[in-house]
Amino acid sequence: MKTSRSLLFSSLLLLPACALARQGTNEPLDAAVIRSLQPGKTTAREVVERLGAPTEVVQLGRRTAYRYDASATKSTALILLLVNFANQDTRTDRLWVFFDENNLLTHHGAWYGTHRPQYAMPWEDVHEAEDNAEADAERPGVVQ
Amino acid sequence: MKGAAAALLALLAAGCVQGEYNRITVDEPLREELVAPLRPGMDTLAHCLAQLGAPHRVFEYRVGQDGTSGAALLWVWREAAGWGVDVSGGSDEASASFSFNLADTELPGCVLWFGPDLVLERWQRGTLGDLLPGRQRPSPQPAD
């Protein structure tokens, strides 16, 4: 009995372990709200009312540009006795809105990526088009 | 010699020293087939944002005496993988997950430069060291 317990304990020590973790910053951007922005009509004030405070404001001469972003990270680790394998995949949502000197929206561009990170091993391709398309299909309103 | 080997074995067995293979990916490379067709002198900021989505950063570019300015748009991504030795049993990479360090001159990226009329002047792929040389901090002056 004592021997079998020792064997069981020893084998548990040698077994591999896996770890998964997920972390993010900011809320993913709302594609429907971004689609409601209208160049030539929407003002900087309206953008802030709809999206909140930007992450960054950049002066471009008389123009200004606001950055909104969010990120999502999925981490995977395979922990063995002598060696560990770890992967960390981060993607971001990004929105830039450009205003003229009258604070009227002139341009905007968005990128949606926070739904795309994958739990993967470091030797797996995490940028495959099929995987991205599959993830995109599960996030309504996102067309890259 | 035997003592050193025994100590190393003990450290390995205790998980204090482990080999590790880590990969970190942040966002996806800007696809060549989207960038290559862009036409300097023709394509506008609106067109480029529609084609490429939002950049990671926007910088003021070519500020004129009259207060007008162009804009430089930067896309950046990261894919780093490699072997290492973890002495502590933990990994610092996990906490340093997201955020591009724009002072990292080796990061790959792509910049599009727009003149004050917001028409594309040129674009370039490369490392941040090549793309944003003027934005790097100067080296410390040697002490006299």
The pLDDT mean for chain A works out to 91
- For B98, the closest of A25, A84, A86 (CB atoms) is A25
State what percent of residues in chain B have pLDDT above 90: 56
Under 8 Å between Cβ of A95 and A69 = yes
Distance from CA of B93 to the nearest CA of A (A): 9
Q: How confident is the model at residue A141 (pLDDT cuts 50, 70, 90)?
A: confident
* Chain segment A25-37, per-residue pLDDT in tens: 999 999 999 999 9
Shortest CA distance from B118: residue in chain A: A107
Could B21 and A71 be called an inter-chain contact, meaning their C-beta atoms sit closer than 8 Å? no
Identify the pLDDT of residue B59.
Answer: 95
Task: Say whether residue B101 is in contact with chain A using an 8 A CB cutoff.
Answer: no
CB-based burial, A115-139: b 16+ in 10 Å, e otherwise: bbbbebebeeebbeeeebeebbeee
Chains A, B: CB pairs < 8 Å: 122
Place of tokens 């951007």: A29
From B61, which residue of chain A is nearest by alpha-carbon distance? A60
Q: In B1-143, which ranges are E strands?
A: 18-26, 57-61, 70-76, 78-86, 108-114, 120-127
Residue B131 has pLDDT above 50, yes or no: yes
Check CB contact of B93 with chain A, cutoff 8 Å. Answer: yes
**What was the pLDDT predicted at A103?**
97
Give B23-80 pLDDT, tens digit per residue.
999 999 999 999 999 999 999 999 999 999 999 999 999 888 888 899 999 999 999 9
Degrees to nearest 5, angle at CA A121 with A120 and A123: 120
Model pTM score: 0.83
Residue among B8, B12, B18, B26 with most chain A CBs within 10 A, to mutate: B26
So what's the pLDDT on residue A143? 66
* pLDDT band at A91; cut points 50, 70, 90: very high
Q: Which of A93-97, A114-118, B4-8 shows the lowest per-residue confidence on average (mean pLDDT)? A: B4-8
Give the start-to-end residue ranges of the domains of chain B.
Answer: 2-131
